[in-house]
């Protein structure tokens, strides 16, 4: 149990550091900013109770908000992400076979499941974040293009990072 806490604490620090000091400055005309920090919430163990999941998601978003100077936007988007994660896992995962490896990783769940998991959760997160940031329908075309490019870039980086740390395990 303590090993899982240490791994997730290190993952949190590394992902926030990468987001705040590397990816914040990467973007193409502010159209495609990747938000890799959501990988922390995506990779939390299946057994994470909701009373812990939602504060962790909110704290993750609030930490990124502190670096981006966006009061509450990432915190709200991460809360939506945690809600959608709970629903998606309850619908798609049979928890009986995951006593040894209770994390939603590519090597454990398989590519297809992890791909859809990443796409759905990233789209909900980015939809919330980008529409809250725009908070207007006057520039809907720019907002939708930004939503699409940010989502694609984030999904690409999440899949690449999972393939880098990929280890095939038996379910």
Say what the pLDDT of residue 97 is.
Answer: 53
Q: What is the pTM of this model?
A: 0.89
121 near 86, Cβ under 8 Å?
A: no
43 near 4, Cβ under 8 Å?
A: no
**In the chain, where are the structural domains located?**
2-164
pLDDT tens-digit profile of 66-118?
Answer: 999 989 999 999 999 999 999 999 898 876 555 555 788 888 888 899 999 99
């Amino acid at each position: 149990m303590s090993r899982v806490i240490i791994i997730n604490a290190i993952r949190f620090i590394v992902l926030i550091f990468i987001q705040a000091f590397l990816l914040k400055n990467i973007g193409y005309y502010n159209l495609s900013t990747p938000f890799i920090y959501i990988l922390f919430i995506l990779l939390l163990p299946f057994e994470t109770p909701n009373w812990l999941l939602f504060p962790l998601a909110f704290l993750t978003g609030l930490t990124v908000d502190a670096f981006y100077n966006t009061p509450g936007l990432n915190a709200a988007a991460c809360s939506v992400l945690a809600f959608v994660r709970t629903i998606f896992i309850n619908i798609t995962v049979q928890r009986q076979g995951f006593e040894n490896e209770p994390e939603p990783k590519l090597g454990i769940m398989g590519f297809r499941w992890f791909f859809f998991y990443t796409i759905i959760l990233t789209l909900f997160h980015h939809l919330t974040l980008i529409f809250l940031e725009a908070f207007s329908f006057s520039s809907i075309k720019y907002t939708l293009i930004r939503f699409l490019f940010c989502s694609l870039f984030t999904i690409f980086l999440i899949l690449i990072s999972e393939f880098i740390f990929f280890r095939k395990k038996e379910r």
